[in-house]
């Protein structure tokens, strides 16, 4: 779920509840919607079709995980 807000003064913000699972960042559409929202709140131009990024490899995904206890 995502929501956005823009006040009368032009400030923008967004909330997002989708980052519960690290593996979601491998999904191209997941990354695109979050990056588009970040660009929108920064008042940067979002290109037609959204911001494109390369899909991270399994090695890149594992490099960003903290060790977990049992």
pLDDT in tens, the chain (70 residues): 889 999 999 999 999 988 888 889 999 999 999 999 999 999 999 999 999 999 999 999 989 788 877 6
Q: What pTM value is reported for the model?
A: 0.81
Q: How many other C-beta atoms can be found within 10 angstroms of the C-beta atom of residue 56?
A: 14
- For the chain, what's the residue count? 70
What does the buried/exposed string (b/e) look like for 16-32 if buried means 16 or more CB atoms within 10 Å of the residue's CB? eeeeeeeeebeeeebbb
Q: Give the phi and the psi of residue 24 in degrees, each rounded to 5.
A: -60, -30
Region of residue 49 (left: phi > 0; alpha: psi -120 to 50; beta: else): left
């Amino acid at each position: 779920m995502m929501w956005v807000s823009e006040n009368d003064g032009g400030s923008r913000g967004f909330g997002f509840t989708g980052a519960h699972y690290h593996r979601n960042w491998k999904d191209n559409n997941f990354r695109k919607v979050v990056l588009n929202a970040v660009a929108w709140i920064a008042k940067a131009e979002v290109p037609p079709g959204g911001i494109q990024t390369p899909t991270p490899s399994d090695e890149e995904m594992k490099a960003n995980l903290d060790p977990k206890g049992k």
